[in-house]
Amino acid sequence: MVSETLRRQVEALHTRYVRVIDDDQIEEWPKLFTETCLYRIATRENHAQGLPLAVMECRSRRMMEDRVTGLRRINVYEPQRYVHQISALEIEPAGEGRLKCRSNFLVIRTLSDGAMSVFSAGVYLDTVVVESGAALFEERVVVQDSRRVDTLVVIPL
Amino acid sequence: MVSETLRRQVEALHTRYVRVIDDDQIEEWPKLFTETCLYRIATRENHAQGLPLAVMECRSRRMMEDRVTGLRRINVYEPQRYVHQISALEIEPAGEGRLKCRSNFLVIRTLSDGAMSVFSAGVYLDTVVVESGAALFEERVVVQDSRRVDTLVVIPL
Amino acid sequence: MVSETLRRQVEALHTRYVRVIDDDQIEEWPKLFTETCLYRIATRENHAQGLPLAVMECRSRRMMEDRVTGLRRINVYEPQRYVHQISALEIEPAGEGRLKCRSNFLVIRTLSDGAMSVFSAGVYLDTVVVESGAALFEERVVVQDSRRVDTLVVIPL
């Protein structure tokens, strides 16, 4: 069991993550991660088989910032928006100030013509560190259920 | 940061809101708001541009009660039901006993023939006041992602 | 109002429930219930009218275990996976160490070809008991909005 204070910090990190993506503040997204980190989107199949193929992968905050610059250049926020739902957050102490977290996510996507659909659903597998009072992701592996979605992902999930 | 007690009161208000709508206790809906209040449904586009157009707007508890009376007259609960999901609740103190809240919502609608679909998704932007131990909405602005939904909204989101 | 400790135990039970189903650890599912229990899936219509018809019904942990054995035999996890979202959890003390809980659920189903859809949405009506520090379901009645889903349910919701 983790303390209430720690739990609230982790919840706040999850909430912040959702806000920066859904509210188009994507420049804030890398700041939720440690300098050296892992952000990875994989399908359930790839993840289960330990395959190196990923839909998206960044190994540092710097790579994430580059990704954001790229996103802004192609102006993806015009044609699509996400709304996230997060549920069933589990937090386990993992030693050395680290926490292992799991949660279910669901992303509803709205296109510019107004069409809404279930775009992605799956599990976040996280390693969170708490440094000087603030929680950051050291690792976020997004395991999505469907392999269909691969080519459609532009914005991080 | 708000206190745990306050957070639980705000969460309870959000939960109550979902229950009264999803469980067809719509007469209880206005009671979750202060006498003078704002309930407004806008599309993301309208909201971002500050346009006065709203899908639905009530400026007092009384107007909300009138809305409920109207709903009962046309008996909308027969053909459709909502199931809400709420996530990523942020609560910030805003002075004078007020709290600013944001959360993501998702509404699944089921029609009488059994068809289920993503009906609406977006953000609740709230001002909550705590009066004599109970939390009430002073303002709830529902910003939905899609403009398509306008003409379909009858029950409050 | 229930204590924070009790609330966290109930939340943890809900989270565990989601994990064992979504992560294909279905053998753990009956362990979240008391020996004598009720697990029942009904449509909103049937539930409202008090009809005995249920989509699925188990009256003991033993029956649930049999159900799991059956599921493994037909190997249902190959063609479909669930992702749950849970929201708006209400907890009320009900005397004699029991708690009455309500929450909204949403299940996104992914088929083996990658198609994702809203599979089921509705309300969990639970009786939870806390025995020697652990929370267990004595009763979980799943009331789903749509009657369409009946014949499609194989894995518990």
pLDDT, tens only, B96-145: 889 999 999 999 999 878 888 999 999 999 999 998 878 999 999 999 98
The predicted pLDDT at position C14 comes to: 98
CA–CA separation, C15 vs A89, rounded Å?
7
Q: pTM here?
A: 0.94
The predicted pLDDT at position C84 comes to: 98
DSSP 8-state class, residue C4: H
Sign of the C-alpha dihedral, residues C70, C74, C75, C77? negative
Number of Cβ within 10 Å of residue C74's Cβ equals: 10
Tell me the Cα Rg of chain A.
Answer: 15
What is the distance in angstroms between the CA of the first residue and the CA of the last residue of chain A? 28
With an 8 Å Cβ cutoff, are A19 and B147 in contact? no
| Beta-sheet strand order (sheet of C56-60) | C56-60, C33-43, C134-144, C116-131, C98-111, C80-93
| Cross-chain CB nearest to A87 (options C4, C85, C113) | C85
The predicted pLDDT at position A141 comes to: 96
With an 8 Å Cβ cutoff, are C87 and B4 in contact? no
With an 8 Å Cβ cutoff, are B85 and C106 in contact? yes
Q: What is the mean pLDDT of chain C?
A: 90
Over residues C12-42, the pLDDT tens digits come to 999 999 999 999 999 999 999 999 999 999 8
- Which is nearest to C68 in space by CA: C33, C43, C120? C33
The residues facing C120 across adjacent strands are C107
Q: How far is B65 from chain C (nearest CA, A)?
A: 24
* Disruptive mutation site among B104, B109, B144 for chain A (greatest number of A CBs within 10 Å): B104
With an 8 Å Cβ cutoff, are C90 and B19 in contact? yes
Q: What is the mean pLDDT of chain B?
A: 90
The predicted pLDDT at position B151 comes to: 61
Q: How far is C102 from chain A (nearest CA, A)?
A: 15
pLDDT at B51 over 80: no
| Cross-chain CB nearest to B146 (options A14, A18, A116) | A116
Contacts of C122 in chain B (CB under 8 A): 83
Q: Which residues of A touch C (CB under 8 A)?
A: 4, 44, 85, 87-90, 102, 104, 106, 118, 120-123, 145-149
Size of interface A-C (CB pairs under 8 A): 58
Q: How far is B35 from chain A (nearest CA, A)?
A: 31
Number of Cβ within 10 Å of residue B95's Cβ equals: 7
| Cross-chain CB nearest to C145 (options B14, B106, B110) | B110
B150 — pLDDT class (breaks 50, 70, 90)? low
With an 8 Å Cβ cutoff, are B115 and C89 in contact? no
| Cross-chain CB nearest to B86 (options C87, C147, C149) | C87
CA–CA separation, A93 vs A10, rounded Å?
12
β pairing state of C80-93 and C56-60: unpaired
pLDDT at C59 over 80: yes
Number of Cβ within 10 Å of residue C105's Cβ equals: 24
Interface predicted TM-score (ipTM) of this complex, two decimals: 0.92
pLDDT at C150 over 90: no
The predicted pLDDT at position A85 comes to: 98
The predicted pLDDT at position A75 comes to: 67
With an 8 Å Cβ cutoff, are A117 and B118 in contact? yes
pLDDT at B76 over 80: no
Q: Which two tokens stand for residue A95?
A: 């030693």
Contacts of C11 in chain B (CB under 8 A): none
Given a contact cutoff of 8 angstroms between Cβ atoms, the answer to whether B128 and B136 are in contact is yes
* Disruptive mutation site among A3, A86, A87, A124 for chain C (greatest number of C CBs within 10 Å): A87
Q: Out of A11-20, B76-85, B98-107, C65-74, which region has the weakest mean confidence (pLDDT)? A: B76-85
Amino acid occupying residue C141: V
Helix, strand, or coil (residue C68)? helix
